[in-house]
Chains A and B, each alone.
Chain A
């Protein structure tokens, strides 16, 4: 096979006509498809967490529960909102114009760090929410029911495992490409 001929085909390939994205670039930030999707998700999630923060105290009898659990829940929810904003910032960050292998390694490191923050924070907040809901059950903490705590631990492990699996598959392609370039 003649690669010089293939080079010619490749170099000739291009858009047949001017693409709309060329002239629409001025609306780039607000029409950027991935960011638009993430922004919509961020707005929905943040609104839901803020509503929960305002309503949980009366809806879930916050006044009848220990102050420590109330405080932990509020901190957990605020951290979840911050985590959403961090994710948006990470997605909208410009890609590096460093050599590809280096840029990919840096990106993988950033995303791996963020994924651990995300997984631990979400599982931690779920654990706090469960603790909060059980905090005013009389006699539970003095005579713990093993089956109840066992069920909670199993649910937390499942939630943790599912999130780790989701992140692992998200980052799998990037990891594979780095390995392919390195070897």
Chain B
């Protein structure tokens, strides 16, 4: 079955800019040389999901420390911690005793709780699953949360695990249902691979050297058309705009890459997200407002 209900989100998407305070990316188990050494988190075992989520969050929150009571966190992951789910399922059907640690870490909330304790974040925390592009959903969520005048920062992050044959089967069915691509099958050696990206957002006036805002027109044929957004600056289009598998966090990685480049070089870029069935791809303009003198940028994963 393919779901083809057309969708209108005209009122759901606002057009206000957000400041990007910090970004971070991490990969694990991909077999490449630049995989990230992940921290060992007390109480979390077997799966890279929670360590990946913690690592990228920690990078952002350490780079730009702030008031935890004025910080919200939103995590997006299409399927959550599939490694833990599958491990628990395998143990159960083979009659082995359940591991209480798998119970504790089975929900994405658990690592958010760990993070909240480490950084004394008492603001709200949400975890989401979306078939759409996570950048669009996460920025819209942050935009909505910033309606609360007491909130200063929203940390948004995405986590995605490779997965084995069961996850591949899920993707095949999703592809049939959404008309979107099936991700390449993970080699057995990288079935436990994972990736994560985080973006710490604030209001534009909060000292963020780069801002991001949605624009209403995607570039046609690769050329940016900003007339409807009322902007005169020249943008360089960024992002493939080609269909990713549902819920892919690739565009969150791209946003982090663009952010680093703008910090280094200045200027502005258009980020075009993957198209979604029934909805056009979203386009976001990232603009550097001021160079950061003496900034020592980490370029890990900057070219993914």
Q: Tell me, yes or no, whether A binds B.
A: no
Point out residues on A near B: beta carbons under 8 Å. none
Point out residues on B near A: beta carbons under 8 Å. none
